[in-house]
Chain A
């Protein structure tokens, strides 16, 4: 009898724990009906997760903006969680799994379809056409999923070519490269080695995130990430050609050595230091130049070019404001998103990050006039392309780096690397 009681007790405890585990798991995340206060006066305490406004300066900027927001909405309090784009998915996962997602989440282009498809985000109830009249269309569209607006654009960020005019002049070159062949030729001419050691890369393709270097090359070569009906397309001949170009830069032309630099390297940006003649870079490299080599700007030694081959192309991302479908204070959350997307807040955010304003009204601002990199980006938005577009994108994008590296290191051919990546991506999309 005693042993039977003991067995029942163990079963009960295990059953309870099992139930608790399943309940904990199944109760997490997921869409929820809109909470109270959706259409009422904005009030309550809301939590904001932001991957922009980094560092002390960024925090100071946001605090100033939120003080103004508080004056406009005295009944709303905002609790801020600062993070980076590198850690954003981690923060989002834990908050969603815990059943307490952030009320307002700032995220990138490409992030909206995966979250909107799973019901994580609230429909902002905005009119897409009206938004397009105020914002750049390039960042309105990524916030729209199945005809509904889930995100408001705050800023754009772009990747394009930079070159050092002084180094070009030394080598007898004057115009920026117009296609892949010219890029390779110039890269070879501008590369400098001493005793076999690379002291100046002719073309730096490693200082930028490898995926975000490959993609503009893919687009410039006439390729696409996915077909319009959502099938993998990056392993097309155009994609293989783009990766072959990168592989040739490293393995054939040796205009840069693998490991010479890396995104965010503590040693700084090689082009700024004269250790690279050309690079594929983020528009905010300009801030680095302003800070560490202002003479380059004063003497007009920095030039820009769109990556081009069969067509010109520029990578374009952006930061958008979203509201959680589970927010208990949706009116307050939406008010904050609208405020952050509005001119004062968006301009302050752009200034702090060296980014491109999404609001058309800011195109003629003093900030834009004083920043040639931003002007170049704005002038070439017709040639801009964005990543993402399929709900499984967040699962796929992390695998690009290893695939590209395996080609750059000669471990796989570009075709093999992209085919394997395409197979993985297809599996991820099939999982849904």
Chain B
């Protein structure tokens, strides 16, 4: 960032009396105008497509908006009282937390191990990296359809393998005891690629001299990993953690495709699916807005916590 020093005359002038010369004033005006001109499209876009819907969501959450009749009335906190009395919504919050709890740390742990392995001098390293990244850029629906086949209880891959060992596999996606686990497995598999890429970039910024010094001191590979690699990956870990948490709270596609209608006896229903169902299947837009605000509150808290953590990290630097 460049800081321009003010001219000496301006520094010596009494406050409030020094007017900039006309040419500078004009230049400042032109710069401001140019800035506004460049900012205006983005501002219009942000206001219209993000600002207004967000504001409308906040307003509608406190109203009864009948989308079919086109009527609206103020109901205060009734929508919130209603959703927290709804067993299915509360279940969806629990499922979202469980999903996040298992998806984020597991995927991060696997991603860091893979990143470390792919950071070594490995043959066909670029191919492996591409292969691990591929699920991230593949359409979730396509991925989910392939996994659906693998989970299929009669002709699916998993139960075929289990039957070779004489075991009868479960109906993975139809059994409430296994459905969420199946969704988590798919999400972990899909989420590894991006996390691995971020870790890989972070690993490549670790100075090799650190490892050379550790080698000279006779540090073993696990010791180098725990004492050098992991601590130096801390900023990347924070970033991956925050992004993954927010992503996990917003999970929809794979749950929707793998276990339609919230899964067996609502075993996999998550907050985003309930919001979708309330708005588009039940035509209860205001209730869906209240649910969206609850999701927003979760994400806000997570973001503030992470911001504080990463903020401290920035301060330390």
Chain A interface residues (CB < 8 Å from chain B): 17-18, 20-22, 24-31, 89-90, 93-94, 96-97, 114-115, 118-120, 195-197, 257-260, 262, 266-267, 275, 394-395, 398, 401-402, 405-406, 409, 411, 420, 428
**Could you say which of B55, B66, B87, B264 contacts A18, with CB atoms under 8 Å apart?**
B55
In contact, A17 and B264 (Cβ under 8 angstroms): no
| Interface segment out of the listed B183-191, B223-231, B275-283 | B275-283
**Residue-by-residue, is B127-169 near A (CB-CB < 8 Å gives 1, otherwise 0)?**
0000000000000000000001100111100000001000010
> When A and B form their complex, which 4 residue pairs have the shortest distance between CB atoms, in order from nearest?
A30-B70, A259-B171, A259-B174, A21-B56
In contact, B261 and A258 (Cβ under 8 angstroms): no
Closest to B51 in A: A17
Nearest Cβ on chain A to B120's Cβ, whole angstroms: 41
B52 proximal to A (CB < 8 A): yes
**Could you say which of A96, A196, A394 contacts B281, with CB atoms under 8 Å apart?**
A394
Closest to B53 in A: A21
Residues on the B chain within 8 Å of A17, using CB: 47, 51-52, 55
**Residue-by-residue, is B239-265 near A (CB-CB < 8 Å gives 1, otherwise 0)?**
000000000000000000000011011
The count of A-to-B residue pairs whose CB atoms sit within 8 angstroms is 124
User: Of A28, A115, A405, which is in contact with the most chain B CB atoms at under 10 Å from its CB?
Assistant: A405
In contact, A257 and B171 (Cβ under 8 angstroms): yes
How far, in whole Å, are A310 and B149 apart by their CA atoms in the complex? 41
In contact, A29 and B69 (Cβ under 8 angstroms): yes
In contact, B52 and A20 (Cβ under 8 angstroms): yes
How far, in whole Å, are A29 and B70 apart by their CA atoms in the complex? 5
In contact, B283 and A93 (Cβ under 8 angstroms): yes
Nearest Cβ on chain A to B127's Cβ, whole angstroms: 31
Residues on the A chain within 8 Å of B152, using CB: 266-267
In contact, A97 and B168 (Cβ under 8 angstroms): no
In contact, A118 and B69 (Cβ under 8 angstroms): yes
In contact, A89 and B280 (Cβ under 8 angstroms): yes
Closest to B145 in A: A266
Closest to B154 in A: A267
In contact, B283 and A402 (Cβ under 8 angstroms): no
Residues on the A chain within 8 Å of B71, using CB: 26, 30
In contact, B55 and A405 (Cβ under 8 angstroms): no
B60 proximal to A (CB < 8 A): yes
In contact, A118 and B68 (Cβ under 8 angstroms): yes
How far, in whole Å, are A275 and B154 apart by their CA atoms in the complex? 11
How far, in whole Å, are A245 and B29 apart by their CA atoms in the complex? 80
In contact, B69 and A26 (Cβ under 8 angstroms): no
Residues on the A chain within 8 Å of B282, using CB: 394-395, 398, 428
On whether A405 and B60 interact (CB within 8 A), knowing A24-B52, A97-B67, A258-B171, the answer reads no
How far, in whole Å, are A30 and B219 apart by their CA atoms in the complex? 73
**Residue-by-residue, is B203-241 near A (CB-CB < 8 Å gives 1, otherwise 0)?**
000000000000000000000000000000000000000
Residues on the B chain within 8 Å of A29, using CB: 66-70
On whether A405 and B51 interact (CB within 8 A), knowing A90-B280, A197-B168, A259-B153, the answer reads no
In contact, A411 and B72 (Cβ under 8 angstroms): no
With A21-B56, A259-B174 known, 17 other A-B pairs at CB within 8 A are A18-B59, A21-B52, A22-B59, A25-B60, A26-B65, A29-B69, A90-B280, A93-B279, A97-B285, A119-B69, A196-B168, A259-B170, A259-B175, A275-B154, A398-B261, A398-B282, A402-B262
How far, in whole Å, are A118 and B53 apart by their CA atoms in the complex? 24
Nearest Cβ on chain B to A232's Cβ, whole angstroms: 17
14 residue pairs A–B, Cβ–Cβ below 8 Å: A17-B51, A25-B59, A25-B65, A26-B71, A29-B69, A94-B280, A96-B67, A118-B69, A258-B175, A259-B170, A259-B172, A395-B283, A402-B262, A405-B264
**Residue-by-residue, is B281-302 near A (CB-CB < 8 Å gives 1, otherwise 0)?**
1111100000000000000000
In contact, A267 and B155 (Cβ under 8 angstroms): yes
Interface size of B in residues (CB-CB distance below 8 Å): 48
Nearest Cβ on chain B to A323's Cβ, whole angstroms: 15
B306 proximal to A (CB < 8 A): no
In contact, B265 and A406 (Cβ under 8 angstroms): yes
Chain B interface residues (CB < 8 Å from chain A): 47, 51-53, 55-56, 58-60, 63, 65-72, 87-88, 148-149, 152-155, 163, 168, 170-176, 261-262, 264-266, 277, 279-285
In contact, B69 and A402 (Cβ under 8 angstroms): no
Residues on the A chain within 8 Å of B279, using CB: 93
Residues on the A chain within 8 Å of B58, using CB: 21
**Could you say which of A195, A260, A409 contacts B154, with CB atoms under 8 Å apart?**
A260
Nearest Cβ on chain B to A287's Cβ, whole angstroms: 22
Closest to A115 in B: B68
In contact, B149 and A266 (Cβ under 8 angstroms): yes
Nearest Cβ on chain A to B168's Cβ, whole angstroms: 5
Residues on the A chain within 8 Å of B65, using CB: 25-26
In contact, B72 and A26 (Cβ under 8 angstroms): yes
In contact, B67 and A21 (Cβ under 8 angstroms): no
How far, in whole Å, are A395 and B262 apart by their CA atoms in the complex? 16
How far, in whole Å, are A406 and B71 apart by their CA atoms in the complex? 36
**Could you say which of A27, A114, A258 contacts B174, with CB atoms under 8 Å apart?**
A258
Closest to A206 in B: B174
Nearest Cβ on chain B to A262's Cβ, whole angstroms: 7
In contact, B69 and A30 (Cβ under 8 angstroms): yes
Closest to B171 in A: A259
In contact, A25 and B72 (Cβ under 8 angstroms): yes
Closest to A401 in B: B261
Residues on the B chain within 8 Å of A115, using CB: 68
Nearest Cβ on chain A to B270's Cβ, whole angstroms: 14
User: Of A21, A195, A196, which is in contact with the most chain B CB atoms at under 10 Å from its CB?
Assistant: A21
How far, in whole Å, are A20 and B67 apart by their CA atoms in the complex? 17
On whether A96 and B68 interact (CB within 8 A), knowing A266-B152, A267-B152, A405-B264, the answer reads yes
Residues on the B chain within 8 Å of A21, using CB: 52-53, 55-56, 58-60
Residues on the A chain within 8 Å of B262, using CB: 402
In contact, B283 and A31 (Cβ under 8 angstroms): no
Residues on the B chain within 8 Å of A119, using CB: 68-69
Closest to B178 in A: A259
Residues on the A chain within 8 Å of B69, using CB: 29-31, 118-119
Residues on the A chain within 8 Å of B56, using CB: 21-22, 24-25
